[in-house]
Amino acid sequence: MSGGSAANLAVELAGVRFQNPVWVASGTFGYGDDFQTIFDVSRLGAVVTKTLFLGPRDGNPPPRIAEVGGGMLNSIGLANIGWEAFRERKAPWLRQHLPPAQLVVNVAGNTAEEYREVALRVDAARAEVGAAALELNISCPNVNEGGTNIGCDLRLTREVLREVRAVTSLPLLVKLSPNNADLVPFARLAEEEGADGVSLINTLYGMTVDLHSRRPFLGHGSGGLSGPSLLPVGVFWTYKVHQAVRIPIVGIGGIARAEDALQYLMAGARAVQVGTASFLNPFASLEVIDGIARFLDRHRMDLEELIGVAHERRPQNVPAAAAAV
């Protein structure tokens, strides 16, 4: 329930119960404790951690952020404190303040073996840190394969999934990269290899050139595009992937308001993640929760009736005014 609403927003996904379908996206909410003085994190469906590697990483040279039309570019380069520091310094606070919101631990590695090792460690500490699920960030270069982006290569994706699936029984979500002509083969592969769901989408490759220096603006050169311009891309892939696999979808990309999240749910996502919008408005995710509840109240609908409704052939014939949130 949310803000005096009668709507039941609880949703089951990958065998886990989430009190609502609104999560905060990896890399846009720190380790969950950054907003602690202003924000009640326990109201969220889940917090997804910044991507954690086995050890700390410094990331890319500055500048790492650029504002562009329709969103932003980032080239953070997966800077993170590493799994052990997260377990020691961040997890105790989350253990205390997060429930009933869930913790989804997002991990990555430089090689398939590193993915396996970090997944193994999260699995071993699952009760201690309160991990409900693992989200695999596969949008990472494989250092043994000349830096090929794992999430853009079916063979490398399969290799990582096999290594990880073999060492953990934690619900496993695979976060897909939109830097592919087709995401359906990646979603099918995730299902085949025993993933419990897919999260989509990560950022799109992008670049901005500085007219003064006449060079790429970001220190790394290129970056990842996020924000409002990703909304139709993420909704498209949610719709397509929903037609192709049975495992659940977590919709991500450009969600700033309840209307945006509702599109993903109607396209077939069982949950959504709010990313870049939290930078502009730290309360965006909470507002999305309240807006979904209002929509369900107004239309006397259950969340389950809404999920995937865009795939129904029967015309809806809802007057435009009534369709508003």
Ligand X SMILES: Cc1cc2nc3c(=O)[nH]c(=O)nc-3n(C[C@H](O)[C@H](O)[C@H](O)COP(=O)(O)O)c2cc1C
Contact indicator for 206, 65 with CB cutoff of 8 Å: no
**Binding pattern to ligand X, positions 75-114, x when CB under 6 A?**
-x-x---------------------------x--------
Site string for ligand X, 184-223 (x = CB under 6 A): ------------------xx--------------------
The site string for ligand X over 25-54 (x = CB under 6 A, - otherwise) reads: xxxx---------------------xx---
Token pair for 72: 């932003």
Q: What does the H/E/C string look like for 235-288?
A: HHHHHHHHHHCCCCEEEECCCCCHHHHHHHHHHCCCEEEECCHHHHCCCHHHHH
Which residue has the CB atom at the shortest distance from ligand X? 27
CB of 128: closest distance to ligand X in angstroms?
22
Rank residues 7 and 53 by Cβ distance to ligand X and give the closer one.
Answer: 53
Give min distance, CB of 312 to ligand X, in A: 27
Q: Candidates 95-103, 185-193, 249-257, 302-310: pick the segment binding ligand X (CB under 6 A).
A: 249-257
Tokens of 45: 């469906």
Q: Is 152 designated active site?
A: no
From CA 292, how far away is CA 318, in angstroms rounded?
Answer: 17
110, 142 contact by CB (below 8 A): yes
233 part of the interface to ligand X, by CB under 6 A: no
Closest by CA to 201, choosing from 230, 160, 239, is 230
Q: Which is nearer to ligand X, 161 or 255 (CB)?
A: 255
CB of 289 to ligand X, least distance (A): 15
In the shown chain, the binding pattern of residues 272 to 311 toward ligand X, with x for contact by CB under 6 A and - for none, equals: --xxxx----------------------------------
Q: Is 226 in the site for ligand X (CB under 6 A)?
A: yes
Nearer to ligand X, 252 or 266 (CB): 252
Catalytic residue among 140, 174, 249, 288: 140
Q: Is 19 in the site for ligand X (CB under 6 A)?
A: no
Helices (DSSP H) in the chain: which residue ranges? 83-85, 91-97, 112-124, 126-129, 154-165, 184-192, 231-244, 258-267, 277-280, 284-299, 303-306, 320-323
Q: Is 255 an interacting residue with respect to ligand X (CB under 6 A)?
A: yes
The least distance separating ligand X from the CB of residue 296, rounded to whole angstroms, comes to 22
If the CB atoms of residues 7 and 110 are measured against ligand X, the closer one turns out to be 110
CA 265 from chain centre, in angstroms, equals: 14
**Number of residues this chain uses to bind ligand X (CB under 6 A):** 25
Instruction: Single out the residue of 2, 102, 111, 137 in contact with ligand X (rule: CB under 6 A).
Output: 137
Q: Residue 234, Cβ neighbours under 10 Å: how many?
A: 26
Tell me which residue of 128, 103, 122, 112 sits closest to 168, measured CA to CA. Answer: 122
Residue from 170, 163, 239 nearest 201 by CA:
239
Task: Kindly list the distances between the CA atom of residue 242 and the CA atoms of 20, 71, 268, 270, in Å, as whole numbers in the listed order.
Answer: 20, 26, 6, 10
Q: Just list the catalytic residues.
A: 140
Positions touching ligand X (CB under 6 A) are 25-28, 50-51, 74, 76, 78, 106, 137, 175, 202-203, 226-227, 230, 252-255, 274-277
